[in-house]
Structures are given as C-alpha cells and as structure tokens.
C-alpha cells in the first residue's frame, strides 16, 4: 500500500526517482515508461498525458520554506509573493502535474 495513494497498489518493479531530473531522464530513455513531473520540467523528449483532477490533487506536493529565523527583506517579500493568489496561480501554471 502507498502512503501517498491510499488503497492503491503499485508494481514491485516501480522505481522512485530521487528528483525531477532523474525522472525526466528515465522517462525519456524508455518509451514504455510513465512518471509524474511538474509542467516546468517537460521537454520534447517526453510526451505529456492528461490526468484527472483527483490524481492531480494526489500528485501535488506543498512547497516548504524553512529558515532558522523569520525571513526579512527580499526573501520575505518573495515568500509572501508565492503565497499570494498571483503567486499561487504562477506556481500552478508551471509546477502542478
């Protein structure tokens, strides 16, 4: 069973890529491969497929920003921008599966 996809089983031959670059390389090298990538990572080397809203929500991951102290200046401004409706729309455009 999967933590991220409750109630769904996966092949014992499934491979978990360590990062998006490794996923892209793996998918590009195997015509039978399928994987999940943010839209920003798509290239002509792979063919995108549409997924339904439920699966898109399951594949979505939060963006976490961790710091030892409260961010200030441009870093704080950047994080506030990402959390704004405009920032969320931009993230959705490029990083939702």
CA terminus-to-terminus distance, the chain? 22
Torsion of CA 46, 48, 49, 53, to 10 degrees: 140
pLDDT of residue 10: 67
The tally of CA atoms less than 13 A away on the side-chain side of residue 72 is: 2
pLDDT of residue 22: 92
The DSSP secondary structure of 37-72, one letter per residue, reads --GGG--TTS------HHHHHHH--------SS---
pLDDT of residue 35: 87
pLDDT of residue 1: 41
How far is it, in rounded angstroms, from Cα 67 to Cα 94?
A: 25
pLDDT of residue 2: 46
pLDDT averaged over 10-residue windows placed end to end, the chain, 97 residues: 58 81 92 86 89 80 86 94 90 76
pLDDT of residue 13: 78
**Residue 52, token pair as written in the block:** 């339904």
């Amino acid at each position: 069973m999967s933590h991220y996809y409750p109630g769904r089983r996966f092949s014992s031959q499934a491979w978990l890529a360590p990062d998006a670059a490794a996923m892209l390389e793996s998918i590009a090298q195997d015509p039978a491969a399928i994987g999940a990538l943010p839209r920003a990572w798509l290239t002509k080397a792979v063919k995108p497929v549409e997924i339904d809203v439920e699966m898109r929500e399951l594949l979505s991951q939060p963006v976490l920003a961790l710091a030892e102290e409260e961010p200030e200046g441009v870093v704080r401004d950047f994080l506030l921008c990402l959390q704004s409706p405009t920032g969320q729309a931009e993230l959705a455009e490029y990083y939702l599966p």
